[in-house]
């Protein structure tokens, strides 16, 4: 039986790095819930083509951000309790399924809050109900995301 990791440890263990890292800070993390934030930098290269003169953050990147900011930290927390801190180095998270609805637009410079609530965890698979909100409270997207831990 291992020991749970802190929110700062979880942040350092998220495997993605710039320019493909879409979580700045984990505000809360426990066995069942996580809250994180990310500011979409105006310097991201993809804004030049999506869409010229009217830049919008691609939906696929919003989903990726929810995975990085919610599913991965919750999975890391669960794995640390099951396999210990040492066991985390031999696992990585792969997407298994996603079901998301979009209800808003994220523009360059917008800051979002991403929350995730664990729906289930078993056999290294985690499903979370996730939501992304703008600072003004607008729900940008929400849905269920799942990932599974695989041996490296």
Residue of 39, 44, 50, 125 with catalytic role? 50
For residue 149, give the H/E element and its range. strand 139-151
Distance, CA of 118 to CA of 146 (rounded, Å)? 10
Q: Please, are residues 140 and 134 in contact by the beta-carbon 8 Å criterion?
A: yes
Active-site residue 50, yes or no? yes
Return the number of other C-beta atoms located less than 10 Å from residue 149's C-beta.
Answer: 22
> Which active-site residues does the annotation give?
50
């Amino acid at each position: 039986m291992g020991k749970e990791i802190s929110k700062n440890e979880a942040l350092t263990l998220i495997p993605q790095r710039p320019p493909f890292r879409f979580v700045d800070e984990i505000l809360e993390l426990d066995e069942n819930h996580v809250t994180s934030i990310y500011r979409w930098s105006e310097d991201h290269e993809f804004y030049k083509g999506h869409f010229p003169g009217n830049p919008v953050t691609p939906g696929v990147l919003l989903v990726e951000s929810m995975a990085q900011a919610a599913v991965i930290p919750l999975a890391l927390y669960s794995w640390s309790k099951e396999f210990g801190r040492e066991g985390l180095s031999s696992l990585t998270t792969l997407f298994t399924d996603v079901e998301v609805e979009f209800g808003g637009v994220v523009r360059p410079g917008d800051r979002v809050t991403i929350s995730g609530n664990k729906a289930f965890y078993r056999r290294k698979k985690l499903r979370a109900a996730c939501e992304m909100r703008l600072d003004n409270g607008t729900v940008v997207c929400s849905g269920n995301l799942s990932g599974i831990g695989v041996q490296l």
